[in-house]
Amino acid sequence: MERGGEFQALAQVMDRLRGKDGCPWDKKQTYDSLKTFLIEEVYEILEAIDEGSPEGLKEELGDLLMHIFFLAQISKERRDFDINDVARSAVTKMVNRHPHVFGGTRASTPEEVEVNWSELKRREKGKSKTMSLLNGIPLHLPALLRAYRLTQRASRVGFDWKHPEELFEKIQEELRELREVIRDGDRQGIEAEFGDLLFTLANVGRFIQVNPEEALRKSISKFVTRFHYVERVLSERKKSLKEASLREMDQIWEEAKKLESVNR
């Protein structure tokens, strides 16, 4: 198959699936019905990256690509645009936003590239310089990731901490405030102060160049792996989770942690 032929074949597959004699399920789908599947595919790609599986990543990227073609096919049926328009738009955007590669602009550091990128985006969308610096960060991002991106954007104009110690002092301040509202039994206050603490931690992540969403996702993955180990060991001992003591589960948990360090 000639270069690009695979994409043409995928477009033809989608056209057939949505056609008169196509698949009833595929023909029923809409923009809205595909949103959840689209999000799931992105997270499956992240999982494949974490697992370091080239085959798994290839498969998941294919699934995401299929959804992109799916959405483009719906748009084609609505006479809005087709997959070729999508590709053409992407090429134009990437060339225009990299004048340091395709033009005469100079940018020698990633930071300079980011500044240029933001300014070019503003010009493309015709936004006034009086528009908020925080505009353009998607509302539907996971909350920790959105907090990370917002503080990252604000830091570009100097709205940032000067020293790491200031961050730790802020964490202690937020913890004190959370303890106070917990003692008072103020449910709204508890939620607000807990949110402030999480936001501060996301800001800390940005300051130390750790994506909080990624860090939490990996910690969750570790928790699941270790808990599965606890379940497996207890099953081998002919015990259920309810029958095991907390001390026994803790001991097995520590075994799981040691195994992780050995297998690194």
Q: What does the domain layout of the chain look like in residue ranges?
A: 5-95, 103-131, 143-210, 213-263
pLDDT bucket at 201, cuts 50 / 70 / 90: very high
Alpha helices in the chain (DSSP H): 5-17, 24-28, 31-51, 54-77, 83-96, 99-102, 110-124, 143-155, 164-184, 187-207, 212-236, 246-263
| 35-41: average pLDDT | 90
CA atoms within 13 A on the CB side of 151: 22
pLDDT: which is higher, 164 or 53: 53
Residue 1 scores a pLDDT above 50: no
pLDDT: which is higher, 1 or 113: 113
Specify the fold of 143-210: Helix Hairpins (1.10.287)
pLDDT in tens, 55-83: 999 999 999 999 999 999 999 999 999 99
Residue type, position 154, single letter? A
pLDDT at site 128 = 52
- Identical fold at 5-95 and 143-210? yes
pLDDT in tens, 166-199: 989 999 999 999 999 999 999 999 999 999 999 9
CA 62 to chain centre: 18
Let me know: does 63 contact 54? Beta carbons within 8 Å.
no
pLDDT at site 235 = 96
CATH number of 5-95: 1.10.287.1080
Among 60, 9, 11, 15, smallest CA distance to 37 is for 60
pLDDT at site 51 = 87
**DSSP designation for 158:** T
pLDDT in tens, 216-242: 999 999 999 999 999 999 999 999 999
